[in-house]
C-alpha cells in the first residue's frame, strides 16, 4: 500500500500502527538477508511507539500523513539510544546520546523508526558495497551493486521492506542508489533539510533527502524533513512549501530543461529510456529544451576537490590513529584526499 492508502485506513481505524509495525518487522526478519539492508532493527522501541500512536488515533489525534508509518534511516543519522555505525568497524558499538534534528521532526510527525540501514563506510563511495557489516545487495539482482552511499536506504525501499527511508547525498549518494534500486530519490536544495547530528562527509556539499516508492510519498516525506534549524549553520531560513500540492496538475505549457551534458555519456539502453521519458513529457504538452551550462567540467572538478578536502579534514584523526580499521577502498580514497591543498 502507498502512504495515502495507509493513512486512510488508519483514520478509518481499519489498520493500526501496531499491526503495521508488526507486519514490517516480520518482513524485515524474513527478507533482510536478501539485501542486507538493515544493520540495526529497533523492534521493541518501534512497537512501544506504535502502541502510543495507536492510543492517539483512538482519541482522534492524527499528527500527519506519516502517523504510524514505519521508516528506515541511513546509519549515519544520530538516533538517541540506538546504535549508529557509519558502516564502520570504528563505530560498530557507538550509541549517540542525542537525536538528529530530522529524527525529532519525524517522531513529532508520528513516523516510527524501525531501524538503521546500511551505508558505504563514512558515506564515501558510490557503489554501496564497502561496509563493515557487509555489502548491500540490489533487490532486483543480487549480483549487481545497489549504488551508494545510501545503499540500505534505497535497497530497503526497493525490496518493499519499508515505503520510506532517509539518505544523504554529497556527490550522488541518494540519486545513484535510487536509480539502481528502482526507487524515487531526491537531493533537496542545499540547506533545506537540517544536517544537525548527521555524520558529515563534506560540510558544504552534504544534503539530506527522502527515498521512497512513489513521487507522492517523496513529497510527503520532504514536507516533514524540510525546515529551518538554528542549530545547523548551513540551514536556510525560508518559507517552506507544501511539496505535494502540485502533484497531478497538467504540465501543458511547462518548460523542462535537459542539461546538454546529461546526454553525452549514456549507454544505449539508458539513452533509449531517457528519450522515452522526454517523449511522454512532450506528449503531455510540455516543452522540452536543451540547456547548456557553461564551464561544467570546471564545476565538476571544483566539486570533487571540495569533497576531497573537506573529507580529509573531517577524517584527519581517523586516518592518523585508526587506518587499519578502515575498509581498504575507503582508506585509499581518504588517503588520496589528503593530497588536495588548501589553495586548490
Secondary structure class of 50 (helix, strand, coil):
helix
Active-site option among 7, 16, 65, 74: 74
Task: Give catalytic status of residue 244 as yes or no.
Answer: no
Catalytic residue among 37, 135, 149, 235: 149
Q: Is 29 a catalytic residue?
A: no
Catalytic residue from among 153, 156, 173, 235: 173
How many residues does the structure list for the chain?
Answer: 344
Residue with grid cell 539492508, as numbered in its chain: 37
Cell numbers for 288, please give them. 522540452
- For residues 149 and 123, the answer to whether their CB atoms sit within 8 Å is yes
Task: Tell which phi-psi region holds residue 74, choosing left (phi > 0), alpha (psi between -120 and 50) or beta.
Answer: beta
Nearest by Cα to 1 from 78, 9, 237: 9
Helix locations, the chain, DSSP H:
3-11, 17-31, 43-58, 101-108, 151-158, 175-181, 215-225, 268-283, 296-314, 316-321, 328-337
Active-site residue 92, yes or no?
no
226 to each of 45, 191, 210, 220, 243, how far by Cα in Å? 25, 9, 10, 10, 10
Active-site residues, by number, are: 74, 149, 173
Amino acid at each position: 500500500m502507498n502512504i495515502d492508502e495507509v493513512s486512510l485506513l488508519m483514520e478509518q481505524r481499519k489498520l493500526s500502527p501496531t499491526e503495521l509495525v508488526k507486519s514490517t518487522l516480520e518482513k524485515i526478519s524474513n527478507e533482510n538477508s536478501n539485501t542486507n539492508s538493515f544493520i540495526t532493527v529497533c523492534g521493541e522501541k518501534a512497537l512501544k511507539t506504535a502502541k502510543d500512536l495507536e492510543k492517539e488515533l483512538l482519541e482522534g489525534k492524527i499528527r500527519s500523513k506519516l502517523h504510524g508509518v514505519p521508516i528506515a534511516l541511513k546509519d549515519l543519522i544520530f538516533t538517541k539510544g540506538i546504535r549508529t555505525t557509519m558502516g564502520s568497524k570504528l563505530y560498530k558499538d557507538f550509541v549517540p546520546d542525542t537525536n538528529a534534528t530530522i529524527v525529532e521532526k519525524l517522531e513529532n510527525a508520528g513516523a516510527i523508526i524501525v531501524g538503521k540501514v546500511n551505508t558505504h563506510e563514512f558515506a564515501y563511495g558510490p557503489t554501496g558495497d564497502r561496509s563493515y557489516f557487509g555489502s548491500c545487495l540490489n533487490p532486483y539482482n543480487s549480483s549487481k551493486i545497489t549504488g551508494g552511499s545510501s545503499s540500505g536506504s534505497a535497497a530497503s525501499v526497493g525490496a518493499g521492506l519499508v515505503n520510506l527511508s532517509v539518505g544523504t547525498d554529497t556527490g550522488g549518494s541518494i540519486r545513484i542508489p535510487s536509480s539502481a534500486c528502482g526507487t524515487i530519490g531526491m537531493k533537496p536544495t542545499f540547506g533545506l533539510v537540517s544536517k544537525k547530528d548527521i555524520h558529515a562527509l563534506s560540510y558544504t556539499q552534504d544534503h539530506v533527502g527522502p527515498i521512497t516508492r512513489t513521487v507522492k510519498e517523496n513529497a510527503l516525506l520532504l514536507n516533514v524533513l524540510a525546515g529551518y534549524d538554528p542549530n545547523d549553520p548551513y540551514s536556510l531560513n525560508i518559507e517552506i512549501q507544501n511539496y505535494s500540492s502540485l502533484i497531478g496538475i497538467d504540465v501543458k505549457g511547462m518548460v523542462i530543461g535537459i542539461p546538454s551534458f546529461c546526454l553525452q555519456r549514456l549507454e544505449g539502453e539508458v539513452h533509449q529510456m531517457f528519450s522515452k521519458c522526454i517523449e511522454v513529457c512532450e506528449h503531455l504538452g510540455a516543452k522540452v529544451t536543451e540547456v547548456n551550462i557553461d564551464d561544467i567540467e570546471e564545476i565538476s572538478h571544483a566539486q570533487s576537490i571540495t569533497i576531497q578536502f573537506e573529507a580529509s579534514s573531517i577524517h584527519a584523526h581517523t586516518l592518523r590513529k585508526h587506518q587499519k580499521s578502515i575498509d581498504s577502498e575507503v582508506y585509499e580514497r581518504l588517503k588520496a584526499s589528503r593530497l588536495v591543498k588548501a589553495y586548490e
